[in-house]
Structure 1
């Protein structure tokens, strides 16, 4: 009997995210910046907490426009610290802004941030075949490499575990369980994935 991955916790918001977004290969920089910001905010919190604040983040962080976020100043940090629609942690707010500036540097260097990320996978998603949640790793060689390089570039709140969650979300790896209907769907999307720079 097929069933969705157990981490959805029967929450409608989680289930919708699982069924429509999680594991779908993505080469869109706007989405990459959104998830970089959200995943970094998640550190120490549940992903469901962040999903519930997603709209708040979208409004607070200029519709996830890295060029606009990169221009946020100290006064904006103070404003954001009082915003209950996001995680009001100064370090996380400041890192979202500094990460936006570094995101733009990578865009300039590689043509797009997505192209930088996909270069670690030769532009093809990894298809995993997990039978149970216990088999799914928290990190991978790729997440170790990427997080190490991003840390060297100055990115914050993006260690290997957060990076791997990002890789799962944006379809670099298909970590849906074999029993989940989305495994086959994402495998098909991965097979046909051709990033826009090819």
Structure 2
């Protein structure tokens, strides 16, 4: 009999933080609009980096960005950008920080208009797509849904949200179940749909 670690999705490797993230967060359907926004922003900060880098800095990001409350961040300006650029606990990239402020403003417009969570979930028809991949080579880097989400988010004013980033976001937030079928998390996440 094999243990869970040998059947788990291979991408999380052996790092305990990554394993915990895989086993408890990744692929779990998320409907909370603020949590969805935070994840989308962190995926944007990941651009050009590995997710484990962001995961290791996630608590620093949460502190630096005041809990990722869009209502607060939407009011920020140059003083806050300067403060964040001096913070070694986060990714110090002016474009990504400024983009987060613009994205907070876009979030508020969408939330007021139709709700941020229903807006994002509409790209998958409101329910998680249940993939049944047996090999990591089968998993796409983008899909028509992630392309449509990327295009729509950019039109709303979001940045760092290309179709590869939006697909990773959809995987992480459970809009698609991309756990391998042999992974114990596949059936657990499917049951949450």
SS at match of 1:53: helix
Counterpart of 2:184? 181
Counterpart of 1:71? 75
Counterpart of 1:60? 64
Distance in structure 2 (CA, Å) of the matches to 1:116 and 1:133: 29
Distance in structure 1 (CA, Å) of the matches to 2:72 and 2:37: 12
Counterpart of 1:160? 163
SS at match of 1:57: helix
Counterpart of 1:102? 106
Tell me the matched-pair count. Answer: 189
Deviations, residues 62-91 of structure 1 (Å, cap 9, x unaligned): 101010111111011001001011100100
Distance in structure 2 (CA, Å) of the matches to 1:109 and 1:30: 15
Distance in structure 2 (CA, Å) of the matches to 1:120 and 1:165: 14
Do residues 6 (structure 1) and 7 (structure 2) align?
Answer: no
TM-score by length of 1: 0.93
How far 1:153 sits from its partner (Å)?
1.7
Question: Structure 1 stretches of 5 or more lacking a match?
Answer: 191-198
Matches within 5 A, 1:1-198: 1=2, 3-110=7-114, 112-190=115-193
Distance in structure 1 (CA, Å) of the matches to 2:12 and 2:123: 28
How far 1:122 sits from its partner (Å)?
2.1
Deviations, residues 27-84 of structure 1 (Å, cap 9, x unaligned): 1012111101100100000000000010010001110101011111101100100101
Distance in structure 1 (CA, Å) of the matches to 2:129 and 2:141: 15
Distance in structure 2 (CA, Å) of the matches to 1:95 and 1:86: 15
| RMSD between superposed Cα atoms in Å | 0.9
Distance in structure 2 (CA, Å) of the matches to 1:122 and 1:145: 12
TM-score by length of 2: 0.96
